[in-house]
Amino acid sequence: MFKMTEKLQEIAIKLLENKEVDMVLGYTKGKGTFEFIPYIATSPHEAKNLIFDAFSEKALSKYLLQDGFQNKKTALVVKGCDHRAIKLMLGESRIQRDQIYLIGVQCSGMIKKDQLKKEIGQELGEIQLEFNTDFLEVKNKERKKKVKYEKILSPFCLSCKYSTPPKEEVDVLITGDNIPKVIEEKKLTLKECFTDIDEIEKMSRKERFEFWKRQLNRCKRCYSCRNACPVCTCRVCIFDRENPDYIDADKSELAQHQFYHIIRAFHVSDRCVGCGECSRVCPENIPLHLLNQKLKGDLHEFYGSYEAGIDQLPTPLSSAKADEPNFFEKEGK
C-alpha cells in the first residue's frame, strides 16, 4: 500500500511539474482514524499529500461533472469500478477523453471500518495494519491479531471481477503487492456476498413488499444516494425539475419515498458498476444495494450477460430487439 502511495505521488508531481495537467484528483488522509477523503492537488507540493489505501472508498469520477473541473485537464485516480463509470460517462459524451488523465490503481478491496472494529473488538485508534495475501494482521501495543479479508472487505469488492482497470485503457497503471488472494482469484460469487438477496427471494410477495416498505419508509429523501452514485449523471434529474411529472416535493408522504427509490433503481439497473456508494452514504443505513443487485440479476436473466462499463454500449434498457420478450403484452392478445 505504501509503495502504491509513493508511486502515485511521484506520478502526480511529475504531471504537475511538466504542466501536463491542471490538477490531480485523488485521496488524502482525513481527520478521523483510517479516514481517506477526496483531495485536489494543483501543485507538486500538494501532490505529496496524495494517498491510496484500502480505505480510499469514495467514487471520484462524478466530480468531473462539477463546474470547477470544466475546461481543465484533470488527472484522476481510478479503481476498477471508477474506471467503469468513466467509460459510461465517455460513451454518453458527458466528459471528453482528452480532458482527463487516468491513473489506474490496482484495488485490493475496500475495508469496512465498522466490520474491522467488530472483528478486533476494539476502537481503531491505536492499531497498525500489515497486509498479507491471506489475512490482515492488526497490531497494537499489547497484541497481534489475524483477520480474514472475507470478514472485513466490502461485499462489492469480494464479488468484483474488475478490481483493476485494464492497462491499455488508462494512461498509467500502478500495481501493488500483497493483494488479497480473495480479490485476485475472485473466489466469491455475487450470491455468496449478498446472501440477504436469497433470504428476501424466499419471502412471499406480501412479505417482500412489507420488507421494502419498512426499509424505504425510513428514507428522508436527502438524495445522498443519487448524489454519490457515479452513474447518476443526467444533466437534469427528474427529481430536481421545478414541475416534476413523476414525484412531488412532499417529503411527508411515505409512498413518494418508495417511488423515488424504485425509479432510481430502475434507472441505474443496467448502468450500475457495483461500487456500493448508495448504501455507504445512506444516513439511514437502507440496504439500497440489495435492490440494485436484484435488478441487475433480473436483467442478466432476461437479456443475457451485460456488465456496465465493460461491454460496449448501448445498455440493455436503452435499446430493443425484435425477438426480445414483451413484458407489457397482455395475455391472449
Lowest mean pLDDT among 1-5, 32-36, 52-56: 1-5
pLDDT digits (tens, 9 = 90+) for 127-156: 889 998 999 999 987 788 999 999 999 988
Mean pLDDT of the chain: 88
Q: How confident is the model at residue 331 (pLDDT cuts 50, 70, 90)?
A: very low
- Using only C-alpha atoms, the chain has a radius of gyration, in whole angstroms, of 21
Amino acid at 40: I
* pLDDT of the residue at 332: 42
Domain ranges of the chain: 2-184, 194-318
The DSSP letter of residue 56 is -
CA neighbor of 73 nearest in space, from 32, 144, 128, 22? 22
Q: How confident is the model at residue 251 (pLDDT cuts 50, 70, 90)?
A: low
Identify whether the C-beta of residue 38 lies closer than 8 Å to the C-beta of residue 58.
yes
Q: How confident is the model at residue 159 (pLDDT cuts 50, 70, 90)?
A: confident
CA neighbor of 258 nearest in space, from 240, 269, 246? 246
* pLDDT of the residue at 284: 94
pLDDT digits (tens, 9 = 90+) for 24-48: 999 999 998 899 999 999 999 999 9
d(CA 124, CA 94): 40
* pLDDT of the residue at 305: 82
* pLDDT of the residue at 122: 84
CA neighbor of 114 nearest in space, from 248, 261, 279, 242? 279
Q: How confident is the model at residue 54 (pLDDT cuts 50, 70, 90)?
A: very high
CA neighbor of 259 nearest in space, from 216, 197, 209, 288? 216
Assign 51 to helix, strand or coil: strand
The predicted model scores a pTM of 0.88
* pLDDT of the residue at 328: 57
Identify whether the C-beta of residue 150 lies closer than 8 Å to the C-beta of residue 102.
no
Identify whether the C-beta of residue 320 lies closer than 8 Å to the C-beta of residue 272.
no
Kindly state the percentage of the chain with pLDDT values over 70: 93
* pLDDT of the residue at 188: 82
* pLDDT of the residue at 167: 95
Assign 253 to helix, strand or coil: coil
- Residues 276-303, mean pLDDT to the nearest whole number: 88
246 pLDDT higher than 70: no
pLDDT digits (tens, 9 = 90+) for 314-327: 777 877 677 766 66
- Residues 43-58, mean pLDDT to the nearest whole number: 95
Question: Residue 155, preceding bond cis, omega within 30 degrees?
Answer: no
* pLDDT of the residue at 115: 92
pLDDT digits (tens, 9 = 90+) for 175-219: 988 889 988 887 788 778 888 888 898 999 999 999 999 999 999
Distance, C-alpha 7 to centroid of its chain: 23
d(CA 14, CA 21): 10
Q: Which residue has the cell 449478498?
A: 194
- Residues 45-57, mean pLDDT to the nearest whole number: 95
